Amino acid sequence: MNKLNPILLIGIAFLIVLLFLSFIGPYLPFVQDNLDKKHFIKDSNNNLLVPPLPPSDKFIIGTDKEGRDLLSVLILGAKETLGFILFISIIRYLISIPLGFLASRDKYIYNILILWNRLFTYVPTFIVVLLISFIPFVLYSSSRLLLMIILIAFIEVGNAALIKKELFAQVRKKEYVTSGIVIGTRPIKLFLKYFLFPVRKQIIVHFTFDIGRNMLLLAQLGFADIFITHVIKQNETGSWVWFNNSNNWPILLSDSLLFIKTAIWIPLWTALFMSFTIFTFNLLGEGLKEYFTKKA
Amino acid sequence: MKLLQNLIRNIVIFSSVAILLIVLVLTPTGLEVYIVDYKMEWSFNWKVYFNNIKSTIYQLIFERTLGGDPNTGILVLDHVKRYSLRSLKIIIPTFIICLIIGMLKGLINYYFEKRFLTIGNRILNIFFISIPDFFILIVLQYLIFSITNSGLIKIDLYGHENWYNVILPMIALSIYPIFYLSKIVYTCIKDEEDNHYVRTAAAKGTRRLWIVHRHILMNCLFIITSNFQKVFIIILSSLPIIELLSAYNGAGYQLMIALKDNNMKLTIGYLFFFLITMTISSCFIQLINHLINSRSLKLNLLMFKSFKLDRTFKR
C-alpha cells in the first residue's frame, strides 16, 4: 500500500467536510429548516427590520435578501450545488472519452475537436453559455435544467477530449496494443481493456480538476443572473416572470454589485464557500496526481 | 510560409466564430409569444430569423457597419470604441505584468527550489491557483471598506474616473495567471534539467546561472511562449465579472448590460470586440513565437535532423 501524501490527506479531509455539510448539515441544530421568505424581521424590541440583516447573535453570518439565515441557506444548498458540478463533469467525460479515442485514430475528428476548442475560447465561456441560454428552445423548454447542464458540459468537451486524445495517442504507440489488435480482440474490449484501463489514473486526476472548474463557471453565471434552475410563472399583472425555487449557491450571487455596497456578507460568504469547494477539488487532484505517479 | 499558413487559419477561425456568434445572438428575433387560455405559448419564426441573420451579415460585409443602437441612436461602432478603450487600459498592462512577474516567479522558484518546495508552499500555490478572481476582489473591497470606515483614508472604489480604479481589478485579474505561468516555467526547466547537454555544461564547470539562462531557458522558451495565449484567455474571460463587481464601466460591463437588455446590436458589437482582441493577441503571440523559435537551438537541431532524414530518404 502506497503512503498517502499530505496534500491528498488535506484534500480528503476537506472533501469530508463538504460531504458532511451537504448530507448531515441540514440536521445540525443551528440550521433552520423552515426557510420562509420574509419582508421584515422583528427584533427583541419589536422593531421592524428590513432584510438583508448584518451578522448578529441570531444570524451568525447575517441573512440574505429574503430574511433567511444565510448559513442555513448555504448549507441546505450545498448538496444541490455539488450535485450539479459533479453531474456536469460526468456528462462531459462520458462524451469526451469516446471522442478523444476517435480523435487519436482519425485526423478529421481531431481537427474538428481543435476547431471546437478554439470556437469557445475566443469568447469567454460563460458568455457563450449566457447566449445559448437565451435561445427560446432552451429558455422555454420544460426540461431546461437538464438542457443547461448538458450545454455547459458540451461547451468544454473540445478541450477535455483533446487532453484524452494525447493520452490515447501515447497508449497507441505501445506494443501490447498492436498485439491486442493482431490476436483479434473485439473493438469494445480493445477500447476498454487496452486503452481506457491503462490511462484510468490520469483520467481520474483530470476529472477531479474538472469538477473544480465547473464551480467557477457556475459562479460566473450566477454573477450574470443566469441560473440553471428557474421556473416561469405569471404574476398578478399578467406578465411572465422567472424566479427560483431552489437554494443552490450561484443564486445568492445575483445583484452582487448592489450587495457589495450594501450587504457585503452575502457575496463574501457565498464566494468563500465556492472558493473552498474549488480549493478542495484542486488539492484532491494535485494529491491524487502525486499518489499515482509515486505508485508507478 | 508557416506564418502565412497561421494567418489563413486565424482568418478562417475568426470568420467562423463571428458567424456562429451572430447566429446565436439573433435567435430571440424569431420568437413569437402569444397567450392562449391564460397560458403562454410560443412559436419560432424561422423565416424572420434567417432574414435577420442575412441582413446583419450583409450589413457587416458590404456597409462595414452595424448601424445605430435602436434605443439611443448612437452608432454601435462609436459606443464600442468608447468603452473598449477603457477595458484595454486594464487588459494590456495586466497581460504584461502577468508575463513578467510570472516568468520571474518561475525562475525564482527554481533557484530557491529547496526553500519553495515545502508542503506548506505547495499548498499555498494550490490555494492561489484555486481562489477565483472575484473572491479576491470582494475580499480586497471588504478590507478597503473597513479601512475607510475607520476614517483613515477616503477612496472611491467604484467607477472608472480615477486612475487608481484600475489597480484593484488588475490585482484580482493577475493573481491566477501569475501562478499558472510560474508553474509552467518551473516544470519546463525541471523537465529540461536531465538532458545530456545540461550535464555536459555543468561538468565543464559552467556557472549555474549561465546554464539556466543561456542553455535551458532558450530551449524552454517555445513551450513558455505557447502558453502566453492561455494567459491572455484567462484574463479576458474573467474581465466581464471583474468589471461588473468593481463597476468599472468598460467593454465587459457593457456586454453584460447589453445581454440583459436584449440589445442585439450592441451585444454583437461587444462580442466582436472580444473576438478581435483575441485574434490580434493570437497573431501577435504567434509572431513572437516565430521570432524566438527561429533562434531556438533545440528546434533548429530538430529541423536539421528532419532535413537530413528527408535527404537520405530521397536518395
Best residue of B168, B241, B285 to probe chain A, by most A CBs closer than 10 Å: B241
* Overall domain count for chain A: 1
The verdict on A138 touching B (C-beta cutoff 8 Å) is no
Over chain B, what is the mean pLDDT? 82
Q: What string of DSSP letters covers A172-208?
A: HTSHHHHHHHHTT--HHHIIIIIIITTTHHHHHHHHH
A237 chain-B contacts, CB cut-off 8 A: none
Residue A11 lies in a domain: no
B25, B27, B244 member nearest A136 (Cβ): B27
A124, A240, A286 member nearest B40 (Cβ): A240
Q: What's the one-letter identity of residue A12?
A: I
Residue A12 lies in a domain: no
The verdict on A142 touching B (C-beta cutoff 8 Å) is no
Residue A106 corresponds to which cell in the numbers above?
A: 482519425
* Averaged pLDDT, A209-231: 83
Rg of chain A (C-alpha set)? 23
Q: Report CB contact under 8 Å: A268, B25.
A: no
Count the neighbouring beta carbons within 10 Å of the beta carbon of residue B286: 20
B16, B238, B244 member nearest A257 (Cβ): B244
Question: What's the confidence (pLDDT) of residue A87?
Answer: 92
Question: What's the confidence (pLDDT) of residue B97?
Answer: 93
Residue A19 lies in a domain: no
Residue A67 lies in a domain: no
* DSSP category for residue B36: E
Surface of A (227-246) touching B: CB under 8 A: 232, 234, 240
Tell me the pLDDT tens digit for each residue of B225-277. Answer: 888 888 998 898 889 888 888 888 888 888 888 888 888 888 888 898 998 99
Question: What's the confidence (pLDDT) of residue B94?
Answer: 93
Q: Report CB contact under 8 Å: B130, A282.
A: yes
Burial code of A87-111, b = ≥16 C-beta within 10 A, e = fewer? bbbebbbebbbebbbbbbeeeebbe
Evaluate if residue A146 carries a pLDDT over 70.
Answer: yes
* Averaged pLDDT, B122-143: 87
How far is Cα B202 from Cα B195, in angstroms, rounded to an integer?
Answer: 11
Residue A126 lies in a domain: yes
Instruction: Give the CATH number, domain containing residue A107.
Output: 1.10.3720
* Averaged pLDDT, A127-141: 81
Residues with Cβ within 8 Å of residue B190, at least 6 apart in sequence: B110
Of B24, B259, B3, B89, the closest CA to residue A120 belongs to: B24
B17, B42, B279 member nearest A119 (Cβ): B17
Evaluate if residue B315 carries a pLDDT over 50.
Answer: no
Under a CB-based contact definition with an 8 Å cutoff, are residues B281 and B232 in contact?
Answer: yes
What are the φ/ψ torsions at residue A103 (nearest 5 degrees)?
Answer: -65, -30
Question: What's the confidence (pLDDT) of residue A92?
Answer: 92
The verdict on A7 touching B (C-beta cutoff 8 Å) is yes
Domain, as residue range, for A131: 74-295
Question: What's the confidence (pLDDT) of residue B203?
Answer: 87
Under a CB-based contact definition with an 8 Å cutoff, are residues B185 and B107 in contact?
Answer: yes
Evaluate if residue A295 carries a pLDDT over 70.
Answer: no
Q: Report CB contact under 8 Å: A135, B30.
A: no
Q: Report CB contact under 8 Å: A131, B274.
A: no
Residues with Cβ within 8 Å of residue B143, at least 6 apart in sequence: none
Question: What's the confidence (pLDDT) of residue A1?
Answer: 53
Evaluate if residue A294 carries a pLDDT over 60.
Answer: yes
Tell me the pLDDT tens digit for each residue of A273-293. Answer: 999 999 999 999 989 988 888
Distances in Å between the Cα of A158 and the Cα atoms of A92, A95, A121, A173, A214 are: 10, 10, 10, 23, 15
Question: What's the confidence (pLDDT) of residue B313?
Answer: 45
Distance from first CA to last CA of chain A, Å, rounded? 12
Count the neighbouring beta carbons within 10 Å of the beta carbon of residue A115: 15
Q: Report CB contact under 8 Å: B262, A134.
A: yes
Of B266, B290, B223, B210, the closest CA to residue B70 belongs to: B266
Residue B84 corresponds to which cell in the numbers above?
A: 473598449
Return the SS3 of A234: strand
Return the SS3 of B38: coil
Residue A110 corresponds to which cell in the numbers above?
A: 481531431
* Averaged pLDDT, A66-90: 86
Under a CB-based contact definition with an 8 Å cutoff, are residues B123 and A10 in contact?
Answer: yes
Residue A103 lies in a domain: yes
What are the φ/ψ torsions at residue A231 (nearest 5 degrees)?
Answer: -125, 145
Burial code of A276-285, b = ≥16 C-beta within 10 A, e = fewer? bbbbbbbbbb
**Helix residue spans in chain B (DSSP H):** 2-25, 46-58, 76-111, 113-116, 119-130, 133-149, 167-192, 196-203, 208-210, 217-226, 228-245, 251-260, 264-293, 297-314
A6, A128, A257 member nearest B245 (Cβ): A257
Evaluate if residue B211 carries a pLDDT over 90.
Answer: no
Residue A61 lies in a domain: no
Place of cell 444541490: A80
A4 chain-B contacts, CB cut-off 8 A: none
Surface of A (105-134) touching B: CB under 8 A: 115, 118-119, 121-128, 130-132, 134
Q: What's the one-letter identity of residue B288?
A: I
Question: What's the confidence (pLDDT) of residue A261?
Answer: 76
B269 chain-A contacts, CB cut-off 8 A: none
Minimal C-alpha gap between B205 and chain A (Å):
33
% pLDDT > 90, chain A:
17
* DSSP category for residue B301: H
The verdict on B59 touching A (C-beta cutoff 8 Å) is no
Return the SS3 of A242: strand
Residue A16 lies in a domain: no
Q: What's the one-letter identity of residue B270?
A: Y
The DSSP bridge pattern shows strands A231-234 and A48-49 to be unpaired
Under a CB-based contact definition with an 8 Å cutoff, are residues A95 and A153 in contact?
Answer: yes
